[in-house]
Amino acid sequence: MKWFRNLVIYQLEETPQFSEQDWQEKLEKDAFHPCLSDQPYSQGWVSPSGDLGISLCHGGNNSGLLSLRREERLLPAGVVNEALDEKVSEIELKEDRKLGRKERSQMKEEIVFEMMPRAFTRSRYTNALLLTNEKLLIVDTSSRSKAEELTVQLRKSLGTLKLSPLAVDSSTIALFTKWLSGDTPFPASLVVGQSCELRSTEESSAVVKCSHQDLMSGELQPHLEAGKVVVKLQLEWNERLSFILNDALEIKQLRFSDVLQEEAAQDGSSDPAAEFDARFTLMSMEIATFLPALIAYFGSEEKTI
């Protein structure tokens, strides 16, 4: 199992009340099947443990791991347009007339239909972690659209799923900026990293990106005093996780500490299935501890961090 690298976080309005058997039955209805010859794509659920198991929802410790596979036929636009231009030129020369837009559009559809069965296919997998106690769904992707792709499919498979993108009481940008300006101290469990991104609030939309730099050295103060705000910030949590957090509370470049990864390897021994389960257990427990703490940092002013 691969450790999650990018987290798009959703809040569940209510915890889905399904047993493991119920989940299996509901997901099986939308299990993955390869593209048919005339399909541009096909998607469905696969076992998150690959060849190690057949369950479409790997569960344990009030959490579940899901995997959505999407297979797409690769039909480059350039290839289609080249075939279209050749066919249009042939007809125009033969009939001594110019083809209209409607005729070209219809001809393009016919070419796509003819080429589709011969097109190569490519698959990608999107994994998600369901934390029932925390009422959170976490999708491992850097793309919001791919995360929505998974949530739409999950809602279809389960019949109902009330969720929304993670929202907090305070402005993330305001707190990022206060942290770096020194106006607000960092929580004890957080340590600032060496990269960030600042943007101007003026029409110029100027952007300043910093990496491999001591962010608290004072070099950023002129930018902050000029009115720029912090929209991305690299952080480390409890010496166990490092990540980049953006203003939408999306986590990028998440990295689990070497200690955690070594612990998972030791627990798994030489059994691939046991190693998969050990990684899943450690990862899910770590994320289940980390995310509520992260959300609390951006709570209302009345809350104690």
Please indicate, yes or no, whether residues 151 and 63 belong to a single structural domain of this protein. yes
Please indicate, yes or no, whether residues 14 and 159 belong to a single structural domain of this protein. yes
* 205-212, Cβ contacts within 8 angstroms, sequence gap of 24 or more: none
Specify whether the CB–CB gap between 102 and 88 falls below 8 A. Answer: no
The reported pLDDT for the residue numbered 18 is 63
Range of lowest pLDDT (51-55, 83-87, 137-141): 51-55
User: Of 165, 200, 231, which residue sits at a domain end?
Assistant: 165
Give percent helix, percent strand, percent coil of the chain, each to the nearest 5: 40, 25, 35
Please indicate, yes or no, whether residues 53 and 137 belong to a single structural domain of this protein. yes
| Structural domain contains residue 1 | no
Please indicate, yes or no, whether residues 179 and 285 belong to a single structural domain of this protein. yes
**In a 10 Å sphere around its CB, with 0-12 CB exposed, 13-18 middle and 19+ buried, how is residue 235 labelled?**
buried
| Structural domain contains residue 27 | yes
Q: Is 243 helix (H, G, I), strand (E, B) or coil?
A: strand
Please indicate, yes or no, whether residues 216 and 287 belong to a single structural domain of this protein. yes
The whole-angstrom separation of Cα 284 and Cα 107 is: 51
Please indicate, yes or no, whether residues 54 and 110 belong to a single structural domain of this protein. no
The whole-angstrom separation of Cα 288 and Cα 48 is: 19
| Structural domain contains residue 302 | no
| Structural domain contains residue 2 | no
The whole-angstrom separation of Cα 124 and Cα 234 is: 28
Q: How many domains does the chain have?
A: 3
User: Of 130, 165, 200, which residue sits at a domain end?
Assistant: 165
| Structural domain contains residue 305 | no
The whole-angstrom separation of Cα 200 and Cα 238 is: 31
pLDDT confidence tier of residue 269, bands split at 50, 70 and 90: low
Nearest to 233 by CA among 167, 266, 220, 151: 220
**Does residue 289 surpass a pLDDT of 70?**
yes
CA-to-CA separations, 240 to 78, 218, 257, 288, in angstroms, rounded: 47, 27, 5, 13
> pLDDT per residue over 9-45, tens digit each?
999 988 776 677 788 899 999 999 999 888 889 999 9
Higher-pLDDT residue of 204 and 153 is 153
Specify whether the CB–CB gap between 75 and 35 falls below 8 A. Answer: no
**Does residue 137 surpass a pLDDT of 90?**
yes
The whole-angstrom separation of Cα 243 and Cα 234 is: 6
| Structural domain contains residue 30 | yes
Average pLDDT over residues 226-241: 95
The whole-angstrom separation of Cα 193 and Cα 231 is: 14
User: Of 138, 165, 192, which residue sits at a domain end?
Assistant: 165
The reported pLDDT for the residue numbered 74 is 86
The helix or strand, by DSSP H or E, that contains position 291, with its residue range, turns out to be helix 272-297
What range does the domain containing 102 cover? 77-117
Residue bearing tokens 């980390």:
290
The reported pLDDT for the residue numbered 11 is 95
| Structural domain contains residue 112 | yes
Average pLDDT over residues 77-88: 87
Beta-bridge partner residues of 137: 10, 130
Please indicate, yes or no, whether residues 69 and 82 belong to a single structural domain of this protein. no
**Does residue 266 surpass a pLDDT of 50?**
yes
> pLDDT per residue over 171-193, tens digit each?
999 999 999 999 999 999 999 99
Please indicate, yes or no, whether residues 43 and 81 belong to a single structural domain of this protein. no
Please indicate, yes or no, whether residues 135 and 229 belong to a single structural domain of this protein. no
| Structural domain contains residue 43 | yes
* Secondary structure letter of residue 31 according to DSSP: B
The whole-angstrom separation of Cα 132 and Cα 17 is: 9
The helix or strand, by DSSP H or E, that contains position 196, with its residue range, turns out to be strand 190-199
pTM across the whole model = 0.85
Please indicate, yes or no, whether residues 37 and 154 belong to a single structural domain of this protein. yes
Please indicate, yes or no, whether residues 56 and 135 belong to a single structural domain of this protein. yes
Specify whether the CB–CB gap between 128 and 284 falls below 8 A. Answer: no
Please indicate, yes or no, whether residues 154 and 81 belong to a single structural domain of this protein. no
